[in-house]
Homo-oligomer: A and B are copies of this chain.
Amino acid sequence: MASARETITLDEARELALSALTRHGCDAPNAEAVAGVMLAAEADRAESHGLFRLPGYVASLKSGKVDGGARPSVTRLAPGVVRVDGRGGFAPLAIEMGRAPLIEATREQGIAALALVDIHHFAALWPEVEALAEAGLVALACTCATPMVAPAGGTKPFFGTNPLAFAFPRRDAPPVVFDQASAAMARGDVSIHAREGKPVPPGTGLGPDGQPTIDPAEVLKGAQLPFGGYKGSNIALMIELLAGALIGEVFSYEAGQRGPKDGGPPVGGELILALDPDRFGAGAWRDRVENLLAEMLAQPGVRLPGARRHRNRRETGRTGIDVPSALLAEIRALAGGE
């Protein structure tokens, strides 16, 4: 079932996103930050985190759940701990405001943490770790959200898709970056499969009856499964503990009980760790990274995580992006164009 698609430039897409967000209550700094992460995803052809999310962002502004004019506050809780209170806004502006203090703390201390609370996160995590790696730091990030994934052995949604993202800087090349759900499949991808009527691979999830299914619509009503069985489930649990208990934010199962079900992001937290490789005593780390990657990529069939996104990014600047026509019509309506 092929859907009609339309090509637009990244600039056109950005203008549409900014218009739709400001028309529904975002002030300029929040609209710029939110549009920035959606457009970064579109530029990398990471469609499930691109404009596909815009109707959800707008829905959360319309319902009053998210404050489009929130001004996050930054506090240094300890020499190595920066906290940003997002004050009920979307995550992107809070992350931007925490970035410089986190980088400063990491360069001073060798390692530091950024605890983000009272934010609404609806994006991929690679933008935040990639930005830190571009500043020369190693970065890890994780967040929990609406309950969608059953713990290993269970049948009911409990964990969010609980992504873990990691970035390591390289010399003269984009960082090594991965950003992966603890779920066997990212929620956005299950939704896209459902929208396009495609089955999901076995192991993706359970139906509402607790039985395995390859029907994405049944998985959306039932429970997703963690990747790699109990090991992925343990990583999801670690993320609940880090991005929930440690920083004083909600767990996924609580986020699911709060706020209007408006199709947008739930309230929650995020933890970002950063390490300065220049403070760990390994002078030649930049050369060593290149050695490692060259040796790994010498095996036929092996890919570098993040490389496809970075390659796409070089292309979409020239070619623009392909957006499903139905989504584009919806976004144009939200932006007040027609």
Contact = CB atoms under 8 A, between A and B. Distances in A.
Interface of A: 75, 77-81, 83, 108-113, 115, 117, 138, 150-156, 158, 166, 168, 176, 178, 180, 184, 227-232, 234, 237-238, 240-242, 244-249, 251, 253, 273, 275-277, 279-285, 288-289, 291-292, 295-296, 299-303, 305
Nearest to A285: B245
Contacts of A75: 281
Given A79-B110, A108-B79, A241 B302 contact: no
A296 B78 contact: no
Contacts of A180: 231, 234
A16 to B, nearest CB: 33
Contact of A245 (B78, B79, B248, B288): B288
Contacts of A300: 154
Given A228-B229, A245-B292, 8 more contacts: A80-B111, A138-B241, A154-B301, A154-B302, A227-B232, A241-B292, A246-B280, A273-B273
Contacts of A253: 295
B153 A302 contact: yes
Given A283-B248, A300-B154, A302-B153, A110 B232 contact: no
22 contacts: A79-B109, A79-B110, A80-B112, A83-B281, A109-B111, A113-B280, A151-B296, A153-B303, A155-B301, A176-B241, A180-B234, A227-B228, A227-B229, A231-B232, A244-B292, A245-B288, A245-B289, A246-B275, A247-B281, A248-B281, A251-B291, A253-B295
Contacts of A80: 79-80, 109-112
Contact of A158 (B150, B251, B296): B296
B299 A151 contact: yes
Kindly list the 3 A-B residue pairs having the minimum CB-CB distance in the complex, ordered from nearest: A228-B228, A248-B282, A78-B110
A32 B150 CA distance: 42
A109 B105 CA distance: 10
B138 A242 contact: yes
Nearest to A179: B234
A94 to B, nearest CB: 15
Contacts of A155: 299, 301
